[in-house]
Amino acid sequence: MIKKQTFKLLTLLFVFGTISINAQDLVAPSYGFSHSETAYITLADGTEINGTIKDIDRDEGLIEFIKLQDGTGKKHKLKPEDIKFMYLPPSGLDNLGKKLNFVSDFKKWNDEKLNQTHLNAGYAYFETTDVKIKKKSTKLLMQLLNPSFSKEFRIYCDPYAKKTTSLGVGGVKFVGGDIKSFYVAKKDEPAFLLKKKDYKKEFVPLWKSCEKLIAESSADPKWTDLTKHAITYSECAQ
């Protein structure tokens, strides 16, 4: 009897776990970084600096500065405005489940400018981008969460985002725990904050140029289908 109950529980965990993974097929935000593996940073002027992270200072989730020591022993203290983009090595625990397979995952919509070798190895990718906050536009260093299908539509981490209530057994989540907000951007447009509670209202304005997506999902758009919608939009944009 116990074995049957265990089998049923494992089956439920697998089913709900699969649903949860597929619902928001994004890289999990990285907050812990290795101080022994190499970080790769390209500055705003195009200069490349490779080295190990000594310290990262954050202000309510946003990176304020990063201290790096390069291969010659020289130390660098960089502010977000100094950086064009960077690949940071997550710590061992933070790296679990973050490796990507660019050979098969959404290859058609890859941004060819991204370093697939670093991303395949589980590196977190950050880039400085224009972000619209209310009526003003500012440049922020943001982590890209959909690097494997970001050519037409980019989804960035909202460091202040909350999550829906999650359910699980023995510390394993099998439903819920979805992030409630992201910064998103269409190709060559500033990013803006998109919230779960506003998604139905924002759905048509956001995706109106893709008739297929509007026809398929505008009647009842689901927040957990955001990545699916982004991929359909990418198909339309080709």
Residues 6-17: tens digit of each pLDDT: 444 444 433 333
Q: In whole angstroms, what is the distance from residue 70 CA to residue 77 CA?
A: 11
Judge whether 105 lies within some domain.
yes
Judge whether 191 lies within some domain.
yes
DSSP state of 209: T
23, 93, 115 from 9: Cα distances, Å: 21, 26, 40
How many helices and strands, by DSSP H and E, does the chain display? 5, 12
3, 55, 101, 185, 199 from 119: Cα distances, Å: 40, 22, 9, 20, 29
Judge whether 41 lies within some domain.
no
Joined together, the tokens standing for residue 89 give 């090595």
Judge whether 100 lies within some domain.
yes
pLDDT in tens, 76-131: 999 999 999 999 998 865 554 455 554 445 455 566 688 888 988 889 999 999 99
Judge whether 53 lies within some domain.
no
Joined together, the tokens standing for residue 19 give 């649903």
Farthest-apart Cα atoms in the chain, separation: 66
Range of the domain at 183: 2-32+90-195
Judge whether 57 lies within some domain.
no
Number of domains in the chain: 1
- For residue 208, the model assigns a pLDDT of 95
Judge whether 85 lies within some domain.
no
Give Cα 185 to chain centroid, integer Å.
12
Q: Is the separation of the CB atoms in 139 and 130 below 8 Å?
A: yes
The model carries a pTM of: 0.81
- For residue 134, the model assigns a pLDDT of 82
Map tokens 């990545």 to a residue.
227
- For residue 11, the model assigns a pLDDT of 41
pLDDT in tens, 161-194: 887 765 544 444 444 568 999 999 998 899 999 9
DSSP state of 111: -
